[in-house]
Amino acid sequence: MSWKSFLEGVYALPSRVFFFDTTLRDGEQTPGVALRVEEKVMIAEALADLGVDVIEAGFAVVSKGEYESVKRISGLGLSAKICSLSRCEKRDIDAAVDTGCDWVHLFIATSELHMKYKLGMEREHVVERAVEMVEYAKSRGIVVHFSAEDATRSDPDFLMHIYKSVRDAGADSLDIPDTVGIALPHVMRSLVMRTKRETGLPVAVHCHDDMGLATANTLAGVEGGAEIVHVTVNGIGERAGNTSLEEVAVALKFLYGVETAINYEKIAKTSKLVARLTGIPIPKNKAVVGDNAFSHESGIHVHGVINNPATYEPIMPEQVGMSRRIIIGKHSGLHSIDTVLRQYGYVLAANEVKEVLNRVKEIADSGHKLGDQELLQIVNELLGSRIMRPVTLKGFQQITTESGDRCLAEFEVNGEMLRVEGVGNTPLESAIDASLKAFNNILGDIQLIGYSLFASPYEDRHPYEAEVVIKIDGNTIVGKGIGKTSGHTILNAMSSAVNQYLSILSRGIGR
Ligand code: KIV
Ligand code: ZN
Q: Parallel, antiparallel, or unpaired: how do β-strands 295-296 and 404-413 relate?
A: unpaired
pTM assigned to the model: 0.88
Q: Are 23 and 45 in contact (CB under 8 A)?
A: no
Instruction: Decide: helix, strand or coil at residue 117.
Output: helix
- Ligand 1 probe mutation, 22, 59, 85, most atoms within 8 A of CB: 85
- For residue 236, the CA-to-ligand 2 centroid distance in Å is 10
- Closest ligand relative to 146 C-alpha: 1
- At 459 the pLDDT is 59
Query: What ranges in 210-349 are assigned the alpha helix state H?
Result: 214-223, 245-250, 267-278, 299-307, 334-343
The best mutation among 83, 107, 231 to test binding of ligand 1, ranked by most ligand atoms within 8 Å of the C-beta, falls on 107
pLDDT tens digit at each of 511 positions of the chain: 789 888 888 999 999 999 999 999 999 989 889 999 999 999 999 999 999 999 999 999 999 999 999 999 999 999 999 999 999 999 999 999 999 999 999 999 999 999 999 999 999 999 999 999 999 999 999 999 999 999 999 999 999 999 999 999 999 999 999 999 999 999 999 999 999 999 999 999 999 999 999 999 999 999 999 999 999 999 999 999 999 999 999 999 999 999 999 999 999 999 999 999 999 999 999 999 999 999 998 989 989 998 999 999 999 999 999 988 898 999 999 999 999 999 999 989 999 999 999 999 999 999 888 888 889 999 989 988 777 788 999 999 999 888 899 999 999 998 899 999 999 999 999 999 999 999 998 888 899 988 888 877 665 678 888 989 999 988 889 899 999 999 999 999 999 999 988 887 776 443 3
Q: Note the ligand closest to the C-alpha atom of 237.
A: 2
Classified by CATH at the fold level, domain 391-506 comes out as Double Stranded RNA Binding Domain (3.30.160)
Ligand 1 center–CA 210 separation, angstroms: 14
- pLDDT for residue 507: 61
- Domain boundaries defined on the chain: 10-278, 295-383, 391-506
At 442 the pLDDT is: 82
Q: Is 406 helix (H, G, I), strand (E, B) or coil?
A: strand
CATH for 10-278?
Answer: 3.20.20.70
The CATH architecture of the domain made up of 295-383 is Orthogonal Bundle (1.10)
Q: From the CA of 243, which ligand is nearest?
A: 2
Q: Which of 359, 321, 308 is nearest to 337 (CA)?
A: 359
Residue to probe by mutation, ligand 1, list 20, 26, 205, 207, most atoms within 8 Å of CB:
26
How far is Cα 496 from Cα 505, in angstroms, rounded to an integer? 14
Q: So what's the pLDDT on residue 38?
A: 96
List the alpha helices (DSSP H) in 83-237: 90-98, 112-114, 123-139, 156-168, 185-199, 214-223
Q: Note the pLDDT of residue 509.
A: 40
pLDDT at 396: 93
- Looking from the CA of 102 toward its CB, the CA atoms found within 13 Å total 16
Q: Could you identify the atom of ligand 1 that is nearest to the CA of residue 242? A: 1
pLDDT, residue 401, reads 85
Residues 6+ apart with CB under 8 A from 191: 151, 152, 156, 159, 176, 183, 221, 224
The answer to whether 249 and 18 have CB atoms below 8 angstroms apart is no
Residue pair 283/293 in contact by the 8 Å Cβ criterion: no
Could you tell me how far CA 64 lies from the centroid of its own chain?
Answer: 29
